[in-house]
Structure 1
Amino acid sequence: MTTSPAAATLAQPAGGPQLPESMQAVVCHGPENYVLETVAVPRPGPGEALVKVEAVGICASDLKCYHGASKFWGDENRPAWAETEVIPGHEFVGTIVELDDAAARGWGVGVGDRVVAEQIVPCEECRYCRNGQYWMCQPHDMFGFKRRNPGAMAEYMVFSSRARVHQVSADLPPAHAAFAEPLSCALHAVERAEIAFDDVVVVAGCGPIGLGMIAGAKSKNPKLVIGLDLAQDKLDLALECGADLVINIATEDAVTKIKELTDGYGADVYIEGTGHPSAVAQGLNLLRKLGTYVEYSVFGSDVTVDWSIISDDKELNVRGAHLGPHCWPAAIRMIESGRLPMEKICTHQLPLADFQQGLDLVASGKESIKVSLIP
């Protein structure tokens, strides 16, 4: 891509610093084959922006892609979706260093502004985009998985012209600002649950997504928000995020406990955010009849359950949730408000060169909550 004259004017005012020709970036060559390389700094085209990356979070889906999950690399039941020779990273924050007038007008931002972008870059042409359902775009290009939109595990990245961009406070630590992506996803799952005031809401998993789900569910003012996890430190953090009650499923039976709390009926809403197959059956069993199950997680393998619980036993409402459509402004406001204990959620910030350590920390799940890379 070539830089337009307008972009060059905005990017490099008189006496301003010149952009480097090369940068460090993590490049995916396939499952378990991610390499730190020196690559060319990308150049934005018309309507695009060049962004200096400040932080990029490592998501559970990044980890599953790294380990070769069939959702990303395909199997006998589905084609591969992820591509090789791509820079990963879809939850990020950065500062605009170059853009043209069209991009500045379209996004309402300029050089020097701190920005995030939604993880999907919609085509704006398919059936879903034309109907306003951009997060289910048929081509489904996302930053960090497709060659057309390289991600943020690099010193610089390009926001393509169809990116959905949001400005964020320059006062936030970079890792906190990048948390807008997982938090928006969590809030969308909460919206899908359609929580009512008298509901007992159970959130499975108190990792980054689950903690956001708890905060979002609490903001709906239901009767009770309950967090489930195996790790007591994560459960303690869930209480700080708004949970009324937590259950350590390593020592207590969640189904029995929740039925005791609800006169034997079960919870009204269950939001699954662990990605562990056992959490699916757990949710189906602890819900009341006519309850609502919301599935957010990306699973590394197929999950088998007794579907008769969904139909004949309970007539459950089962809903999926994907990405964070229309929830980004709320997520940014929540982070900027100081309501969440972000210092405790964003536990690890590592240099880009230590990306493998970051992946290993996320894989372990025992030492970290949110792991970010700082290019």
Structure 2
Amino acid sequence: MSIPKTMKALVAYSATEYKYEPDYPTPQCGPDDIIIKTEGCGVCAGDLKCQHGAAMFWGDETQPSWVEPPFIPGHEFVGIIAEIGENVTGYKIGERVAADQIVPCGECRFCKDGHYWMCQPHQIFGFFSGLNGGMAEYVRLPKKAVIHKVPLEMPLNDGLLIEPYACSKHCVDRAKIEVEDIVVISGAGTLGLGMVTYAKLRSPKKLIVLDMMDERLEKAKEFGADLVWNPSKVNVTEEIMKLTDGYGCDVYIEATGHPSSVVQGMQMIRKLGRFVEFSVFGEPTTLDWSIIGDRKELDVLGSHLSPYCYPFVIENIANKTLKTNGIVSKSFAIEDWESAFDAATGKYRDFKVAIKF
């Protein structure tokens, strides 16, 4: 396919200047590169936080800037191969692909021992001028990108869930769910629902989902939750204690990003339980840490990105084992990126919002 010299793109020039560019230079294909024609790109909470100027991206008096403008946002993308560099093997023009968010350096201690998702330079699509993301008509996938083939027949709305569901899978894997476990997932947004549909495959004794929005709880029930509770209507800690003879849940996965969910989880988890923190927080969380050590001896685990998860997720979205119905609830043209970002805040009760080309 013929690639034009310019393309439509959203470009971040600074924390305060995001601009739609109708004639931005199309990426050039080097000998080791793949250029894809973007079909669509999901809008992530990280994209929103970056656009709002969060210090974890742009830096402040306590931390340096991480991003390198100008850059094109977006890491939840899928597209069709439009051009292939002369040194590239194993891929053909016209194939459909997605890529891990991170492009590992291959040289640091984490890359060399197999933990590529914790790569020290931490170059992620959509935050660096040399690694532009999917909110543009074309994306360059460099040599070290971790690329995965996607069935052409997969509906685009399903393809757009590959990246978030891969993150969900890694989080649930960290929890090491067993068949006798009472599992609580706090938060039923896109990522929480990805956790629900995957956690159900682990066959826990009970899968319980918490959220403040009843329509999200309905979707969680559809996706496999045994019980759904709204903490604004039910004392969820009391209910867990009733269900477990006063011991508490075995696993608590925190996927809301709200401090109250952390405190709630520490209250309802049993001694020797497994607490997995997934979210990015907008404010500090205050907690009596003696709960973790002296009182309960908990395993407290983090979860970051989606290592080695894409192949499973692609296969099981394709075969309908992982449920996706209704998750991509709204899509926009790149020209309407401001409306897309506004909807992605969840204020209109959307799950996943996408930009499509």
Gaps of at least 5 residues in structure 1 are 1-16
* Equivalent residue number for residue 328 of structure 1: 310
Per the TM alignment, residue 202 of structure 1 is displaced from its structure 2 partner at its CA by: 0.6
Equivalent-residue separation in structure 2 for 1:349 and 1:215 (angstroms): 23
* Equivalent residue number for residue 98 of structure 1: 83
Opposite residue 28 of structure 1, the aligned amino acid is A
Which of residues 57, 74, 80 is equivalent to 2:65?
80
Per the TM alignment, residue 366 of structure 1 is displaced from its structure 2 partner at its CA by: 3.8
Tell whether the 8 Å contact from 1:54 to 1:95 is kept in structure 2 after alignment.
Answer: yes
| Residues 206-245 of structure 1 mapped to structure 2, 5 A cutoff | 206-245=188-227
- Tell me which stretches of 4 or more aligned residues in structure 1 moved more than 3 Å: none
SS in 2 for 1:318: strand
Per the TM alignment, residue 84 of structure 1 is displaced from its structure 2 partner at its CA by: 2.1
In terms of fraction of residues, the more helix-rich structure is 1
Opposite residue 26 of structure 1, the aligned amino acid is L
* Equivalent residue number for residue 252 of structure 1: 234
Per-residue displacement from partner, 1:304-353 (whole Å, max 9, x unpaired)? 22111111111110000000001111111121112344241111111111
* Equivalent residue number for residue 280 of structure 2: 298
* Equivalent residue number for residue 354 of structure 1: 336
From the superposition, tell whether residues 222 and 213 of structure 1 become closer, same or farther in structure 2 (CA, over 3 Å): same
Sequence identity, in percent?
45
| Residues 331-346 of structure 1 mapped to structure 2, 5 A cutoff | 331-346=313-328
- Tell me, yes or no, if structure 1 residue 286 matches structure 2 residue 271: no
Residue range with higher mean Cα deviation, 279-288 or 296-305: 296-305
- Tell me, yes or no, if structure 1 residue 25 matches structure 2 residue 22: no
Equivalent-residue separation in structure 1 for 2:157 and 2:216 (angstroms): 19
Per the TM alignment, residue 77 of structure 1 is displaced from its structure 2 partner at its CA by: 2.8
Tell whether the 8 Å contact from 1:175 to 1:349 is kept in structure 2 after alignment.
Answer: no
Which of residues 71, 91, 98 is equivalent to 1:109?
91
| Residues 113-128 of structure 1 mapped to structure 2, 5 A cutoff | 113-128=95-110
Equivalent-residue separation in structure 2 for 1:18 and 1:213 (angstroms): 40
SS in 2 for 1:24: strand
Tell whether the 8 Å contact from 2:317 to 2:323 is kept in structure 1 after alignment.
Answer: no
Per-residue displacement from partner, 1:271-313 (whole Å, max 9, x unpaired)? 1111122211111111011101101111123222211111111
From the superposition, tell whether residues 366 and 260 of structure 1 become closer, same or farther in structure 2 (CA, over 3 Å): farther
Which of residues 40, 44, 58 is equivalent to 1:59?
44
* Equivalent residue number for residue 7 of structure 1: none
Equivalent-residue separation in structure 2 for 1:304 and 1:69 (angstroms): 20
Equivalent-residue separation in structure 1 for 2:300 and 2:201 (angstroms): 22
TM-score (norm 1): 0.92
Equivalent-residue separation in structure 1 for 2:107 and 2:156 (angstroms): 34
Alignment RMSD? 1.3
Per the TM alignment, residue 231 of structure 1 is displaced from its structure 2 partner at its CA by: 0.7
From the superposition, tell whether residues 365 and 324 of structure 1 become closer, same or farther in structure 2 (CA, over 3 Å): farther
Tell whether the 8 Å contact from 1:141 to 1:148 is kept in structure 2 after alignment.
Answer: no
Tell whether the 8 Å contact from 1:82 to 1:145 is kept in structure 2 after alignment.
Answer: yes
Per the TM alignment, residue 54 of structure 1 is displaced from its structure 2 partner at its CA by: 0.1
Residue range with higher mean Cα deviation, 269-278 or 133-142: 269-278
How many residue pairs get aligned? The number is 356
* Equivalent residue number for residue 139 of structure 1: 121
Tell whether the 8 Å contact from 1:56 to 1:175 is kept in structure 2 after alignment.
Answer: no
Which of residues 156, 164, 167 is equivalent to 2:149?
167
Equivalent-residue separation in structure 1 for 2:273 and 2:61 (angstroms): 34
TM-score (norm 2): 0.97
Tell whether the 8 Å contact from 2:197 to 2:323 is kept in structure 1 after alignment.
Answer: no
Equivalent-residue separation in structure 2 for 1:310 and 1:131 (angstroms): 29
- Tell me, yes or no, if structure 1 residue 42 matches structure 2 residue 27: yes
- Tell me, yes or no, if structure 1 residue 68 matches structure 2 residue 53: yes
Equivalent-residue separation in structure 1 for 2:284 and 2:67 (angstroms): 18
Opposite residue 81 of structure 2, the aligned amino acid is I
- Tell me, yes or no, if structure 1 residue 155 matches structure 2 residue 155: no
SS in 2 for 1:216: helix
Per the TM alignment, residue 32 of structure 1 is displaced from its structure 2 partner at its CA by: 4.5
Which of residues 250, 254, 276 is equivalent to 2:258?
276
SS in 2 for 1:288: strand
